[in-house]
Amino acid sequence: MISFTDRAREMLQTFLGDDEGQALRIRVGGPASAPTFDLSLVSMDDQTAEETALDGDGIKVLVDQERSKLVDGATVDYVERVNESGFEVRPPEGAVPDRVGRRADGEPEGPIAERVREVLDSQVNPAIAAHGGMIALVDVEDTEIYVEMGGGCQGCALSRMTLRQGVERMLREAVPELTAVHDVTDHASGENPYL
């Protein structure tokens, strides 16, 4: 269940009107320790197989199943500040884990981060560099990692297959305690987006 402040509900109603076939899609980006939220209105017919529908007290909300724990129980508000206004999503208490330790350059640190970075630098990036691509470690949460694809990989239709069947396999062989590899790339903003 998602809750809406009175102001957010009022603003949503101006956009939704009486059309009951519409839903609010909330896309979650970035690592779970620093999530970003992108909201858009879509038809309920646009729901994908990867999305789940949550109830927002009469407002249908579509969210990616894999990232739904950051939205289920969240509060959506409409804020107006000096230089900005818009919807703001506040995840439920405890849904956003503490950030992993950081080196002076801002990179994640720790045993898992170092081993993952070693695999990316020595095996993965040299292999995908021929296609103009690269993959960077963004965050580590317990035994889950967040990576971002860049260069030729951003927006590439084969990026998901590259990550799941190639990169993730190499990482799990080198770091067996990994439980999940999340892609936080904004593929829609690439040179050749596939979305």
Tens digits of residue pLDDT in 58-115: 788 889 888 888 888 889 898 887 777 888 888 887 776 655 566 666 678 888 889 9
Confidence of residue 119 (pLDDT cuts 50, 70, 90): very high
**Which residue is it, tokens 């993959």?**
135
What are 152's two structure tokens?
Answer: 């030729």
d(CA 109, CA 33): 14
Tens digits of residue pLDDT in 61-76: 889 888 888 888 889 8
**Which residue is it, tokens 């739904």?**
68
| Per-residue pLDDT, 97 | 61
Q: Are residues 14 and 86 in the same domain?
A: yes
Q: Are residues 19 and 83 in the same domain?
A: yes
Nearest alpha-carbon partner for 50 in 25, 33, 86: 25
Tell me which of 56, 90, 124 is where a domain ends.
Answer: 90
Q: How many domains does the chain have?
A: 2
Residue 158 belongs to a domain: yes
CATH number at residue 150: 3.30.300.130
Residue 137 belongs to a domain: yes
d(CA 171, CA 86): 39
In this predicted model, which residue has the larger pLDDT, 76 or 56? 76
| Per-residue pLDDT, 102 | 67
Residue 96 belongs to a domain: no
Residue 170, phi then psi, degrees to nearest 5: -65, -40
Three-class SS of residue 105? Answer: coil
Nearest alpha-carbon partner for 23 in 10, 9, 42, 40: 42
Q: Are residues 121 and 75 in the same domain?
A: no
Any alpha helices (H) in 83-131, and if so which ranges?
111-119, 125-128
Q: Could you tell me the residue range of the domain that residue 168 belongs to?
A: 111-189
**Please, which residues bridge with residue 23 across strands?**
42
Nearest alpha-carbon partner for 1 in 68, 87, 77: 68
Q: Specify whether the CB–CB gap between 107 and 120 falls below 8 A.
A: no
Tell me which of 59, 90, 121 is where a domain ends.
Answer: 90
The angle formed by the CA atoms of residues 128, 129 and 132, to the nearest 5 degrees, is 100
Residue 195 belongs to a domain: no
Q: Which residues contact 67 (CB under 8 A, 6 or more apart)?
A: 28, 32, 35
User: Global pTM?
Assistant: 0.52
